[in-house]
Amino acid sequence: LTAYGIERPGSDACIRVNPGLGSGHNNRTNVGGPSASFGIWHEHLDQVLSIARTHGLRVTRMHTHIGSGSDPDVWHRCARLSLGIAARLPDVKLLSLGGGFKVGRMADETSTDLHEVGHVIQEDFEDFHKRHGRKLHLEIEPGTFLVANAGALVCSIIDVVDTGAEGYHFIKIDSGMTEILRSALYGARQPIVVVPADDEERSERNYLVAGHCCESGDVLTPASGDPEGLQPRRLTEARIGDALVVGGAGAYCAAMCAKNYNGFPEAPEVLLMPDGRFALIRSRQTLDHMLANEIL
């Protein structure tokens, strides 16, 4: 903030504040509270005010983001804490509560009820107006909520192996961390379906699904609530040449992946049009593309 004030004295500014509260299904998705480095710690607000006075800055926008969750009580606490901080910033006109609107990708996961959360937050903002005489503009970032379940990753099964009677059966695919990092990074779970290459009726069995990267963590079947654990899925009997579809891949997948890890090229992306046609929106990366930035 000091550097910004020196560069642009007398201008408007937006600050991100860590309100002291975090939320997430584990610490890897928690971006608020004392274990998160994001934003200015709320107890340092006096320093913000001092820097703003020194450089004539007007803090007109404030941003908080605590992680991901569906509990209205947590959103209520976040809003109240954020509004309490905004009350000390007299020029703030806009308060962004960030994103983190939980999307239930699995049957046992709960999506955020936007109506319920919105009602709670509306009451908090109206109460702020009554107490401080200021109407604040609310801003949210519902990116994942809008597109998470609008995309799927379609892979090919390249091998089916097992580790003996005391081990596991594995489905190995031609994708993994290079397209979907959420499972390895967060321990996040995605719906998975095996699509047979033929019409033969098949039984089901328990599988772990492993990606093609040379990493033991490149597994798409982590245990629920335990990023370090493994949890086999009941899937249609898999064979080499079958397809495997990973659902819920519309957010934080192509945009957050281990691009070119192990020398794998980026996969193509296809958009399903309203009339049923498929339109190529990103071509498969070639070796020339991958080497274009290499100097020596």
Closest CA to 13 of 53, 42, 41: 53
Residue 5, both tokens: 């004030």
Which residue has 């794998």 as its token pair?
264
pLDDT tops 80 at residue 29: no
**Beta bridge partners of residue 96, listed in sequence order:** 63, 139
Rounded mean pLDDT, 262-272: 96
> Which sequence spans correspond to the domains of the chain?
2-146, 151-291
Q: How far from each other are the two terminal CA atoms of the chain, in whole angstroms?
A: 39
pLDDT value at residue 296: 77
pLDDT tops 80 at residue 293: yes
pLDDT value at residue 25: 67
pLDDT value at residue 34: 84
Instruction: Read off the amino acid at residue 166.
Output: E
214 is catalytic: yes
The predicted-structure confidence for 140-159, as pLDDT tens digits, reads as follows 999 999 999 999 999 999 99
Which has more pLDDT, 293 or 85?
85
pLDDT tops 80 at residue 223: yes
The Cα angle at residue 226 between residues 224 and 229, in degrees rounded to 5? 95
Confidence band of 249 (pLDDT split at 50, 70, 90) = very high
The Cα angle at residue 120 between residues 139 and 15, in degrees rounded to 5? 30
151-291: CATH class: mainly beta
9 vs 223: CA distance, rounded Å: 51
2-146 — its CATH code? 3.20.20.10
150 vs 269: CA distance, rounded Å: 13
Considering the chain, what is the average pLDDT of its residues?
94
Identified catalytic residue from 78, 213, 214, 253: 214
pLDDT tops 70 at residue 87: yes
pLDDT value at residue 32: 85
User: Residue 6: exposed, middle, or buried by beta-carbon count in 10 A (0-12, 13-18, 19+)?
Assistant: exposed
**Beta bridge partners of residue 62, listed in sequence order:** 15, 95
